[in-house]
Amino acid sequence: MESRMSHEQYLTLDLIARLAGRFGPTSRVAKELPGWLEYLTEVDCPERPRSRPGAIWWTKFRQISRNLVPKAGGGDGEILNRNCGALGAHFGLSQVDVGILTFAAHYKVFDGFEHVVDGALDTKEVTLPLLLSWFCGAVEPEIRAALRPSGRLVASGLVQRNRGGRYNRMPFDLSERLLTALMADVSGVGDLIGIMFPTAQPPQAEWQDFEGLGHQAEIMRDLTVRALASRARGVNILLYGPPGTGKTEFAKVLASQIGAELRAVGEADDEGGEPSRRERLAEMGMACRMLGERSDTILLFDEMEDLFGGANPFYGNDRPSKVHANRMLETNPIPVIWTTNSVEACDPAFLRRMSYSALMRPPSGRVRARIWQRLETRHAVGIPMASLPDLAERHDQAPALVSDAMRVARLCDGGDQMVTRVLDAATRLARGGADPAPRHHSEAPWSPELANADLDLRLIETRLAAPDAPRRVSFCLDGPAGTGKSAWARQLARTIGMPVIEKRASDLISKWLGESEQNIARAFADARADGAMLIFDEADSLLADRRNAERSWEVSQVNEMLTWMESHPLPFVCTTNLVEKLDAATQRRFTFRIRFDHLSGDQLDSAWRAHFPLPIPDGLLRLDRLAPGDFANVARRMHALDETRPREILRELAREAEAKEGATRPIGFGR
């Protein structure tokens, strides 16, 4: 009965037998072969003569080695051979190319085969082309031709050229993902593609969740559809923005929207193995070649900066060829969606080859509320549905961070308070340990009866709330602190049905050159994307008179503000306590300039009644320079002291009035 062994055992022992037949008893190979055979089998080889080895001993060894390989059958090696053949047929490789691929795969996977190959090469009597010629059944010149960098095998991306070195005996390497696929017992090349480039999970978001992208989403959808239909080459879409803003999720939604498959390239494998840059680039090349004839597939490459980052000494020799990368971007046969957290980290030469790019931002308030409801359904934290819109309004973090916070709250059984704490901690971390600023920081809520403005605010609200009202309007609200400027701006936004984006000077001004201008531009862009009313508090810090500037960046900062103010298509508001310090060019940039002044005599009574359910004391009307915010501040102070006597409250209001610059004060010791 014939003995059978696994295919990988057969190949290894057949290689030993071939080496024994090729070399004589005095060779370095002959000195090593008995040890290799005993390492791989339980056979006892005849002892090598201590004196000069003779032909009789070597003939016995040759016979033993040949008898051990009568026939092969089954095993992982046979699966590997079959899969290499399937990939070779798919890529149009020659039989020699397939043989070299199979040899390299056996070398990477099977320790015994690697042991014998390395040992043979270490003797310096055996060359790799010789081993490959035996394995592939081809002459050595044909083998050398197939190993050239310009050969079809290397161009396929299935193998990567190895850098020379003591431990790199093989001139090429195979990625771990490819090896995993080659070892899988599958029925065809389609299954191999599924293992190497798995289809992305279905999206959890919806197309409507990205309404903030506006026409950009439609452009990307139309571009992808037409590129697939026409087999256009070199179509690359870049999604960039802070972590957690939904770049990968939008790619999934886009693919689902057009009925295409989204396949991830160059990601960690199922066992957590992280591919190198060269492996990621090679996998992209393989994916383009394996899937290039399909008209229903889009590729996704996350963290583009890892591959196309600018000059960095830490990349070393692992940095991919710029010429090769450029050529790939220009000729990839199917659309590729690239993502990055920072375009600043990417080489401009690669960015210029993007067909279209879109900045991904955290969703607007209306979309956030919808996402929060869906996340609550998924995580079952126990947050009342009625509370979700308020939480979504209060926390503008990206959906991924909200999902993480809900997961923590679920694990800790903490409810909505735990979600808030986790999100606040995440914001604190992103700000380098600083607590997040409150979303709204006015001293008092809006009370129309306490507004002392020089224009009819109700008339403005009524007109702008009309369906045909213009949206390209702007306001400069000036006046003392606490007079209700910011409160009315938010009231106006509520009246006309717009969300609010509120920015203070501290949110925008940066110590880094050029970053303040970027922050200003981003604030206007966010308002356009969300359809929001933009409110700038402390606008005198952003629009200071350029004639008094001492540094060039102070001028460029004001120029940036003025440029965006003139072209912004939506309502925006600037508030200031120091209108006299604004640049003269702001005069024509505002549709409305409204002065908010201190409370009038009649309004003092109304302010007292709004904050203190007590009799109005004599002397209240003699106070000047009081604002609604002053009453709110004194009310909090009196509540803390549990003080309810009208005369003491009046005394505190007088102190507020006297503390203001320009207030009328008595002179001398009698004050």
pLDDT digits (tens, 9 = 90+) for 358-390: 988 877 777 788 888 888 988 989 898 888 888
What pLDDT is recorded for position 313?
A: 42
Among residues 44, 68, 92, the one where a domain terminates is 68
Residues 182 and 229 in one domain: no
Is 317 among the domain residues? no
Which residue from 528, 532, 448, 463 is spatially nearest to 493, judged by alpha carbons? 532
Among residues 196, 224, 247, the one where a domain terminates is 196
Structure tokens at 281: 């680039």
Is 436 among the domain residues? no
Is 239 among the domain residues? yes
The rounded distance, in Å, linking the Cα atoms of 416 and 418 is 5
Is 440 among the domain residues? no
The one-character DSSP state at 468 is: T
CA R_g for the chain: 37
Residues 420 and 460 in one domain: no
Is 315 among the domain residues? no
Task: List Cβ neighbours of 334 (8 Å cut-off, separation of 6 or more).
Answer: 227, 228, 235, 288, 291, 292, 294, 297, 298, 299
What pLDDT is recorded for position 71?
A: 59
The rounded distance, in Å, linking the Cα atoms of 209 and 366 is 9
Residues 408 and 542 in one domain: no
Residues 214 and 341 in one domain: yes
The rounded distance, in Å, linking the Cα atoms of 290 and 156 is 9
Task: List Cβ neighbours of 176 (8 Å cut-off, separation of 6 or more).
Answer: 269, 273, 275, 279
What pLDDT is recorded for position 171?
A: 77
Residue type, 513: L
What pLDDT is recorded for position 152?
A: 87
Among residues 21, 48, 68, the one where a domain terminates is 68
Residues 60 and 81 in one domain: no
Q: What is the domain-level CATH number for residue 491? A: 3.40.50.300
Is 201 among the domain residues? no
Residues 24 and 81 in one domain: no
Is 351 among the domain residues? yes
Per residue in 2-12, pLDDT (tens digit) is: 444 677 788 88
Which residue from 359, 437, 364, 436 is spatially nearest to 398, judged by alpha carbons? 364
What pLDDT is recorded for position 510?
A: 80
What pLDDT is recorded for position 671?
A: 36
- Which residue(s) pair with 474 in the sheet? 572
* Total of domains in the chain: 6
What pLDDT is recorded for position 156?
A: 81
Residues 355 and 211 in one domain: yes
Residues 228 and 300 in one domain: yes
Residues 63 and 102 in one domain: no
Catalogue the long-range contacts made by 87-92 (C-beta closer than 8 Å, 24 or more residues apart).
87/158, 87/182, 87/189, 87/192, 89/189, 90/189, 90/290, 91/152, 91/156, 91/158, 91/289, 91/290, 92/152
Residues 91 and 215 in one domain: no
Is 269 among the domain residues? yes
Q: Give the helix/strand (H/E) hosting 670.
A: none
Residues 247 and 347 in one domain: yes
Whole-model pTM? Answer: 0.69
Low-confidence ranges of the chain (pLDDT < 70): 1-5, 53, 70-75, 163-168, 268-274, 309-321, 436-444, 661-671
Task: Say how many residues make up the chain.
Answer: 671
Parent domain of 571: 448-595
What pLDDT is recorded for position 666?
A: 44
Q: Which residues of 210-230 are buried (b: 16+ CB within 10 A; e: fewer)?
A: bbbbeebbeebeebbbebbee
Beta strand 160-161 with 172-173 is: antiparallel
Phi and psi at 424, nearest 5°, equal: -65, -40
Residues 541 and 631 in one domain: no
